[in-house]
Structure 1
Amino acid sequence: MTKPEIILTQRDLDAIEMGLVDATLTPEFIDALETELARAKIVKPADLPDDCVALNQQVTFRVVDTDKVFTRTLVVPGKAPNAADNLSIFAPLGAALIGLSVGQRITWQTNRGLQTVEVLGVAASRNQQMDNVS
């Protein structure tokens, strides 16, 4: 199965890798996430397409298998204020979404087995907008 291209900023990659140091995750999950990160195209923040999922951004996505739609802010645990809509990059769906662009789909191993997710929209969160000002 061909996986879609993913794009990350070096800042997001560094934040994820630093978060992995303190995270208690299964070796299988860490391997899958590191494999995903290794195949990413790394760009400068200014070169990240507006429709690409990045940390601290709200992403609207659909779990294809259930046709349920969610809007969540993708975060590294402990590095963002707690909010009801946060989705950890270390959750299976968070790991699946990072770096995807609107319209892309990926099939990823979750707690419920293989699931396909599709990115429907991306919007900067308040934290992302504040980062861009400074």
Structure 2
Amino acid sequence: MRDVVRSRSVPQIIVSNADYERLIDLANASMQRLPEVAEELLAEMDRAKVVEDEAVPPHVVRMGSTVTFESDDGRVRTMTLVYPADESLDQHRISVMTPIGAALIGLGVGQSISWSARDGKNHRLTVTHVSTPASPSCQP
């Protein structure tokens, strides 16, 4: 299923050097426990344009960003993208080590991407708003 989603055109994503390094390390460390999400995150990092931390535009999702997005089912959600230890769905914080979290990293306002849920269903989301984190990069 992932090959089908991956073969569609995907938007250019931008990731800071700091996020890139931390996310590569996180994905590699998670390969045994969460291989599908780890591979998806590594694939996202492979295609990312990596820039200096201060060069990431404010409308781009980075670690610690609060992002509003619309799903293909019409639902609008607002969540903060965090590292796994900080995940709390009750507080609207989603881990980058979830399929939707890996799909969000590096997207800008107006960009859409298809992603596969853990149950194998394909979804599409569109970023509608991004609030940058208080610090340039959220600490793991």
Give the TM-score taking structure 2 as reference length: 0.81
Counterpart of 2:134, as a letter, is Q
Instruction: Tell me what 2:131 maps to.
Output: 123
Write the deviation string for residues 2-28 of structure 1: whole angstroms up to 9, x where unpaired: 110000001111221232344320x33
Matched, 1:55 2:60: no
Q: Could you tell me the percent identity over the aligned residues?
A: 32
Distance 1:62 1:102, change over 3 A: same
Greater strand proportion: 1
Moved segments of 4+, more than 6 Å: none
Q: Structure 2, unaligned stretches of length 5 or more?
A: 1-7
The alignment partner of 1:54 has SS state of coil
Q: Which amino acid aligns with 2:78?
A: T
Contact persistence 2:53–2:136 (CA under 8 A):
no
Deviations 1:60-94 (A, max 9, x none): 01112x1101110101112x485711110011111
Aligned residues: 126
- TM-score where L is the length of structure 1: 0.85
